[in-house]
Amino acid sequence: METMQQSATESDRSLVRIRGLRFRRGERWIFDGLDIDIPRDRITAIMGPSGTGKTTLLKLIGGQLVPDEGTVEVDGQNVHALSTAELYRLRMRMGMLFQSGALLTDLSVFENVAFPLREHTRLTESMIRKLVLLKLEAVGLRGARDLMPSQLSGGMARRVALARAIALDPMMIMYDEPFTGQDPISMGVLVQLIRQLNDAAHLTSIMVSHDVAETLQIADRVYVISDGRVVESGTPEQLGEGGSDWTRQFINGLPDGPVPFHYPAPALSEDLLEGAQC
């Protein structure tokens, strides 16, 4: 009884609620009955090997893709039942950090951060300037405001994109592989930034990643997906301790285990013999 009540309140407190989500690309089911709750004001990490459709999940939450079955609720609204106008209003309260940064290449850093403000608000030029400088200060790139995106390093571009994502003070931010391809220093910077932003602005953060160490370091809650389902969930500590063989292999980065090293293939000897016959 008590546990049920607990889970009910937890469910109410969650900002994003995914129920029975199924989605397929062609013949392949990428998600096959996915249930995920993203709590407010926390950093939730969704982990899984490459190709499990983690980016697809973010696009489903953002309403860019439509699921075949199941529902995605954000702040009590069913994302895929909204009209276009309502969806766009909802997206103004979501930020998303793309893997590549997705900065507009024909605009300067300053203009990139100012872009959502110019599009969605009627602020004066001086207000926009102040806000943009504050956001850039938050990511430590106020001095780079006149650079063009092509002049930025990958880590800097991601930080600018982060400043842009928080320009409208959203209620949640989705991070798509924020740590991929970063050197240790910019990785550390990003880890710290994400944690700070989350705590200071009461943001809800969703992060998809396969960088185990960094993710476990900052996440409050972790979901591990494989084959279109949630295989494990809990706090990083819980995941580190127990869990299935699969989770242990994934978290510890073992080359062989439930996920085989070899892509399914006939036995090597057979293959070689066949080659010899030709």
Contacts with other proteins, residue ranges (CB under 8 A) = 59, 62, 64, 88-89, 91-92, 94-96, 98-100, 102-105, 115-116, 119-120, 161, 164
Name the residue nearer to other proteins (CB basis): 112 or 226: 112
Name the residue nearer to other proteins (CB basis): 99 or 233: 99
* Helix, coil or strand: residue 212: helix
Q: What are the backbone dihedrals phi and psi of residue 263, each rounded to the nearest 5 degrees, phi first?
A: -65, 140
Name the residue nearer to other proteins (CB basis): 92 or 144: 92
Q: How far is the CB of 114 from other proteins (least distance, A)?
A: 12
Q: How far is the CB of 152 from other proteins (least distance, A)?
A: 13
Name the residue nearer to other proteins (CB basis): 104 or 259: 104
Q: Which stretch of DSSP H or E encloses residue 244?
A: none
Q: How far is the CB of 104 from other proteins (least distance, A)?
A: 6
Name the residue nearer to other proteins (CB basis): 32 or 111: 111
Q: How far is the CB of 5 from other proteins (least distance, A)?
A: 36
Give the Cβ contact number of residue 67 at 10 Å. Answer: 20
DSSP string over 145-165:
TTS-GGGS-HHHHHHHHHHHH
Q: How far is the CB of 18 from other proteins (least distance, A)?
A: 18
- Please name the residues in contact with 67: beta carbons below 8 A apart, sequence gap of 6 or more: 21, 22, 23, 31, 60, 80
Q: What are the backbone dihedrals phi and psi of residue 50, each rounded to the nearest 5 degrees, phi first?
A: -60, 145
Q: In the structure encoding, which two tokens stand for residue 261, read together?
A: 């090293």
Q: What are the backbone dihedrals phi and psi of residue 107, each rounded to the nearest 5 degrees, phi first?
A: -120, 150
Q: How far is the CB of 66 from other proteins (least distance, A)?
A: 13
Q: Classify residue 207 by burial, with Cβ atoms within 10 Å: 0-12, 13-18, 19+.
A: buried
Name the residue nearer to other proteins (CB basis): 68 or 119: 119
